[in-house]
Structure formats: structure tokens, C-alpha cells
Amino acid sequence: MKRSRIIAILVAGLFSGSVVKAQEVLTLQQAIKYALENKAEAKKSALELENAQYQIDEVRAGALPQVNGSGGLTYNPMLQKVALPGGIIGMPGETVMVAMGQKWQSQAALQVDQQLFNQSLFTGLKAAKTTKEFYQVNKALSDEQLIEKVANSYYEVYQTRLQIETIETNLNNTLKTRNVIKGLVDAGLGKKIDLDRITVALNNLEANKQIVSNALKLQENALKFAIGMPIDREVKLSKETFAVNEGSALIEPLDLNGRTEVQLFEKQIELLQLNKQAMRADYFPRLSFTGNLGYLGMGPVFPIFSANDGVKWSGFSGLGLNLSIPIFNGGATKSRISQANIQLKQAEVDLMDTKLGLQLGNENAKAQIKNSLLTIHTNRANVTLAKEVLENTENNYKNGLATLTELLDAETAYADAQNNLTTSLLNYKIAEVQLIKANGQLKSLINE
């Protein structure tokens, strides 16, 4: 029984090992591509773009011939009679009542309508094309917003993982120190209070590690949700995520025309201008062509599929032009044009404000990049120095030249220096994303 249990444990161990090996390494580029293919926002914007083509087809259909067929069947149980004066039918001076029509009447007709001149329709065709361009730009903006969101979430997860690595390093160092102190206490050469203090510090590190690990799990789930990945899927981030590009602060001048936000507002203004033209189209006359062709059947019996000689069929057709000339509608058209003018001016104000905000974001991102680079250099030097202090303090403590308090303080200072470096790296990467965004190059993150 024991042997079979051991074999089961070994098999389970091998199986769990294969699961760990199968854990997927997820780079930032892979996360972004996954989000653009699977996240709901990306799918919805793609569907909106597809729907824009259908809107164009709908408007274009108004400029094509409209063909409609119709048919009808009527049964008249009681025919209306008309009074005819005498002499026409019957004896002079005698009024005769004559039934008009037939008991059964059927009709089948085909009608064609074609717009010849309709300024509103012509403007609608232009607006439909511009609407598709609007949705194309809107999809690009949605993709950029998704890229920004995924990048920030990805970097936050990576920062927390680095914090856990720092805690584990500090935990290992503290554990080594505890083992040394315990050996001294067991040999009667150390103080019990020192062992208790180092044990408390060790327990605090374990508790802190558990807190940060829980936070990491929540952040990983948030990242998976941000890219549309199943929550139960195991992933691992790549190692070189926080690489620093010293030349990132040296970037070309801002080109607002390349920003998707500006292009979207420009398309919106173009649509509002077309809307204004559509309002003005109400001043223009409208001309259309109409034509019909049909057959009318009448008789005393059911006329369809009937070979009765009493059923008579006759054809009819007509061609015509319909002209509608607007003369006076109480100033309603003028009011609608004025409203369209106000909407156009509001959009232009929003565009100016958006450009100002983009300039602000660009300047803030450049300033943050420069400050983050300076902070990273300082923190890296501080980590090196704190590590040297910790190593010297450990040697001094072993030789009785430093107290336990000094050793614990050195360990805490080293951990703080590492966390400060991690935080400055995160701030740099977030500022880098904002700077890339300010220059309209967020999609370059996919190709890095």
C-alpha cells in the first residue's frame, strides 16, 4: 500500500511539473494583440465599422429605382345601383336603377419610382461615406485606448511581481540571520530576545508576502479581464518588461494632426457640415419619375384562374413626373439650419480644447520621463549602496561589532531601496506609454 502511494505521489509530481512547464509566457506585445482580437471593446468597434458599410448601402438604395408589386381581390355581395333617367334605358319618363360593377374584382400591378433630383439624398450619400470614415477612426481610437489600458495593467502586475521578489530576497536573508542567531542561542552564546525579535521580523515578512501575493492575484485577474483572456488561464510575464530607453525623452515635436482624437473630431465636424447641407436641401425642389403597369379582372364569378366567359380582363399603365417645390414652411428650415450651425461651433470648440489637452499631456509626459530617469539612476545607486551596507552590517553582526537592530534596519533599508527602484521603473513605463500616446504611436507597442 505504501509503495502504491509513493508511486501515486511521484506521478502527481510529474504531472504538476508538466503543468508548470506549460505555463504560458506572456509578453506585452502578445497581451496587446490578444486584447485587440478578443476584448469586447475591440470586437464592438469592428462590428460598428462593419455596420457602417450597411448604412452606406441603405442610403445608396434611396438613389436606385424602387420597384413594388401589389395585388388585390374584392368581392361585392351587394352592388351599388345608379339611377338613370328614362330614355337612355327603358321607356321615356321612367327612371331605371342599374347595378354598377361586378361581383368579383381582382387587380395586379407593378410600380416603379426613381428619384431624379433630390439634394437631400445626394448629401446623404456623402454623409454615409464620411460616416464610415468616422467609424474607421473611432475603431483606431478604441484600439489605442485598449492598448493604453493593457500596457498600464501589464506594468502594474510586473511591479507587484518584482515586489514579491524583493520580499523573498529579504526573507531569505532574514532566515539565514535567524538560523545563525538560533545556533548562537542554542550554544549559549546569544540572547533569547534577539532570536525572538528576528522571528517577529521573519513572521512580518511572511505576512507581507502573503498580502502582496493576494494583490498580485487580483492584478493578474484584472489583466486577463482587460485583454479578454479566460481568468483560469495561467500566464507568466517576460523578464525584460522594465527595460529603460534612455533616449525616450528625446522625441520629435508633437504633431497634433497625427492624433486619432483630433482626426475623430475633424470627421465629426465634417459630418456636422454635411448635416447642415442636408438641412439646406429642404430649400431645393424635388423631382421623381413614377410608372405603373397592371391588369384588372372583373366578372360575376371568382376571376382568378377562371375560364368563365363572363370574366373580363383589361390592362392599364401610366408614366408620370412628380415635382415638389418648397414655398413656405413657417421658417422651420431656417431654424434647423441655425441649430446645425450651433452644433458645428460646439464641435469646433471641443476640437480646440482637445488639442490643448493633448499638448498638456505631451508636456507632462516628457517632464515625467525626465524626472523618472533621474529617479531611476538615483534609486539604482541607492540599491547598490544599501546592499553594501547590508553586507557590511551582516559581517559586523557576526563579529559582534553591530547590534541586531542595526542589522534589521539595514535589511529594511535594502528592501525599501529595491521597492523604490521598482516604483520609479513603473512610473517611467507609465510615462513612456503616455508619451508614445501623445505622439500617436501607441500601436508601435505591438511591433516592439
Distances from the Cα of 182 to the Cα of 195, 208, 390, 406, angstroms: 6, 23, 20, 18
pLDDT in tens, 186-220: 877 778 888 888 889 889 989 999 999 999 999 99
> What's the CA gap between 143 and 443, in Å, rounded?
8
> What's the CA gap between 198 and 204, in Å, rounded?
10
CB distance 86 to 96 below 8 Å: yes
Listing DSSP states for 119-134 in one string gives HHHHHHHHHHHHHHHH
Contacts 24+ apart (CB under 8 A), 22-27: 23/234, 23/235, 23/236, 24/233, 24/234, 24/235, 24/236, 25/235, 25/236, 25/237, 25/238, 26/235, 26/236, 26/237, 26/238, 27/237, 27/238, 27/241
Residue reference for cell 456636422: 272
CB distance 424 to 372 below 8 Å: yes
pLDDT for position 218: 92
Amino acid, single-letter form, for residue 171: L
Task: Select the more confidently predicted residue: 399 or 149.
Answer: 149
Would you call 322 helix, strand, or coil by DSSP? strand
- φ, ψ of residue 303 to 5 degrees: the values are -80, -20
Average of pLDDT values for 295-320?
80
Distances from the Cα of 405 to the Cα of 190, 203, 401, 402, angstroms: 14, 16, 12, 8
The 3 state secondary structure assigned to 93-109 is: CCCEEEECCCCEEEEEE
Q: What is the pTM of this model?
A: 0.74
pLDDT band at 344 (very low <50, low <70, confident <90, very high): very high
> What's the CA gap between 299 and 309, in Å, rounded?
9
> What's the CA gap between 16 and 343, in Å, rounded?
63
pLDDT in tens, 365-423: 888 888 888 999 999 999 999 989 988 988 888 787 888 888 888 888 998 898 898 88
> What's the CA gap between 280 and 29, in Å, rounded?
49
List, in order of start, the domains of the chain with CATH numbers: 24-65+114-286+331-446 (1.20.1600.10)
pLDDT above 90 as % of the chain: 20
- CB neighbours of 170 closer than 8 A, spacing ≥ 6? 205, 411, 414, 415
Cβ density class 80-92: b for 16+ within 10 Å, e for less:
eeeeeeeeeeeee
Listing DSSP states for 349-417 in one string gives HHHHHHHHHHHHHHHHHHHHHHHHHHHHHHHHHHHHHHHHHHHHHHHHHHTTSS-HHHHHHHHHHHHHH
Cell of 276: 447642415
pLDDT over threshold 80, residue 122:
yes
DSSP 256: G
Task: Select the more confidently predicted residue: 254 or 259.
Answer: 259
